[in-house]
């Protein structure tokens, strides 16, 4: 009985290292991104995100280790890799005196798309990024958000399988960020694999199905968003409200080994649990059986931003 080989990851690195003199920008990075992932790459400035993306885009050679894109080695098979990726750096130049369609037609020609096909291809990518009505506009007249979408259209012109997007929403206003994220979700639905680096952690939390956290060139976590929350769940916080004597409630809570701390805050009691595995029902049971009148019990939602701050501990200088 034959068994099918597992599908190749979209991206796989092993021992990926990049040094700039004595500085290690990447230190033995082990990263796997599956086909179809919308993958969030999170880290402080200088953590190694851009270095990783530039290596995957074949613009930078690794000092040691390997990186593969759909099974192709980025160093030895760079030309083949370039045909299946679209790379959007955090800062990219645009020709402000060119029209939108001229700009995209130029890049279509660079990718050897036949002239007869380019007009339709340009129209398709402009529709995808919501710029169809701007096809005759000068690039210099576009807003920052529209220029970012035009940059994404350029990345899509040759229909790549993998998108490497370095801070694509950087500097955008809230509306433009929402529009950009909606486009990325649509691209994922179309089957694209997307790696997006960003500091906008709250948006990555709802946008991405998997994330990686990198600090000082080392991978700290890689996996589902919920997984990193679970990993950091020690120190969960509950907010308790009682209609009886709050001092009595505090003493009851402090007597329990499952409670790391309990303190009054603005008319409520902030309770920090001693471990991730502790069920918060122990708090309710302790208060009720001790004679306190419990009127409210709410657990803090541990967001990706709080997780990031806890994990990285501000180590990047």
pLDDT digits (tens, 9 = 90+) for 103-113: 999 999 999 99
With CA atoms as reference, report the closest residue to 51 among 216, 210, 298, 200.
216
Indicate if the pLDDT at residue 177 is higher than 60.
Answer: yes
What is the Cα–Cα distance from 208 to 80, expressed in whole angstroms?
A: 27
Q: Which residues of 213-252 are buried (b: 16+ CB within 10 A; e: fewer)?
A: bbbbbbbbbbeebeebbeebeeebbbebebeeebeebbeb
DSSP state of 4: P
Q: Is 11 helix (H, G, I), strand (E, B) or coil?
A: strand
- Is residue 103 within 8 A of residue 74, CB to CB? The reply is no
Q: Is 247 helix (H, G, I), strand (E, B) or coil?
A: helix
Residue-wise pLDDT for 252-274, tens only, equals 999 998 888 889 988 899 888 87
The residue behind tokens 């991730």 is 276
The 8 Å CB, 24+ separation contacts for 148-153 are 148/172, 148/176, 148/180, 149/179, 149/180, 149/183, 150/94, 150/100, 150/103, 150/104, 151/88, 151/92, 151/94, 152/88, 152/180, 152/183, 153/104, 153/125, 153/126, 153/128, 153/129
Residue range 11-230, CATH number? 3.40.50.300
Q: What mean pLDDT do residues 162-173 have?
A: 88
Enter the pTM of the model. 0.76
The residue behind tokens 């694509």 is 168
Indicate if the pLDDT at residue 83 is higher than 70.
Answer: yes
Indicate if the pLDDT at residue 192 is higher than 60.
Answer: yes
The rounded mean pLDDT for the chain is 86
The number of helices, as runs of H, and strands, as runs of E, in the chain is 11, 14
Predicted pLDDT at 4: 67
Binning pLDDT at 50, 70 and 90, where does residue 317 land? very low
Binning pLDDT at 50, 70 and 90, where does residue 29 land? very high
Residue-wise pLDDT for 33-65, tens only, equals 999 999 999 887 788 999 999 999 999 999 999
DSSP state of 266: T
Predicted pLDDT at 304: 61
Predicted pLDDT at 315: 45
Specify the higher pLDDT residue, 289 or 299.
Answer: 289
Indicate if the pLDDT at residue 238 is higher than 90.
Answer: no
Q: Which of 14-28, 164-178, 222-236 has the lowest mean pLDDT?
A: 222-236
Fold (topology level) of 233-301: Alpha-Beta Plaits (3.30.70)
Rounded CA Rg of the chain? 25
Predicted pLDDT at 154: 93
Indicate if the pLDDT at residue 221 is higher than 50.
Answer: yes
Q: What mean pLDDT do residues 131-155 have?
A: 91
**What residue segments make up the domains of the chain, in order of their start?**
11-230, 233-301
Note whether 11-230 and 233-301 share their fold. Answer: no
With CA atoms as reference, report the closest residue to 60 among 47, 71, 75.
75
């Amino acid at each position: 009985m034959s068994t099918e080989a597992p599908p190749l990851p979209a991206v796989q690195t092993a021992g990926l290292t990049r040094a700039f003199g004595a500085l290690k920008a990447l230190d033995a990075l082990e990263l796997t991104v599956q086909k179809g992932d919308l993958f969030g790459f999170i880290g402080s400035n200088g953590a190694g995100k851009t270095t990783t993306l530039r290596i995957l885009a074949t613009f930078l050679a690794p000092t040691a280790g390997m990186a593969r894109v759909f099974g192709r080695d980025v160093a030895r098979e760079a030309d083949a890799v370039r045909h299946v990726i679209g790379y959007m750096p955090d800062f990219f130049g645009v020709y402000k005196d060119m029209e939108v369609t001229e700009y995209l037609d130029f890049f279509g020609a660079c990718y050897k798309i036949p002239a007869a096909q380019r007009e339709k291809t340009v129209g398709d990518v402009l529709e995808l990024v919501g710029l169809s009505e701007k096809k005759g506009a000068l690039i210099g007249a576009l807003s920052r958000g529209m220029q970012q979408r035009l940059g994404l259209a350029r990345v899509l012109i040759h229909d790549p399988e993998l998108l490497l997007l370095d801070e694509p929403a950087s500097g955008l206003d809230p509306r433009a960020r929402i529009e950009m994220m909606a486009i990325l979700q649509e691209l994922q639905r179309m089957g694209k694999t997307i790696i997006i680096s960003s500091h906008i952690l709250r948006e990555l939390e709802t946008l991405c199905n998997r994330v990686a956290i990198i600090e000082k060139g080392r991978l700290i976590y890689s996996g589902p968003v919920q997984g990193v929350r679970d990993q950091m769940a020690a120190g969960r916080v509950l907010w308790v409200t009682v209609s009886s004597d709050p001092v009595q409630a505090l003493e009851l809570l402090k007597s329990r080994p499952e409670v790391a701390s309990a303190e009054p805050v603005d008319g409520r009691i902030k309770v920090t649990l001693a471990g991730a595995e502790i069920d918060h029902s122990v708090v309710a049971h302790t208060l009720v059986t001790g004679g306190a009148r419990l009127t409210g019990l709410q657990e803090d939602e541990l967001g990706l931003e709080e997780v990031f701050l806890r994990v990285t501990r501000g180590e990047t200088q």
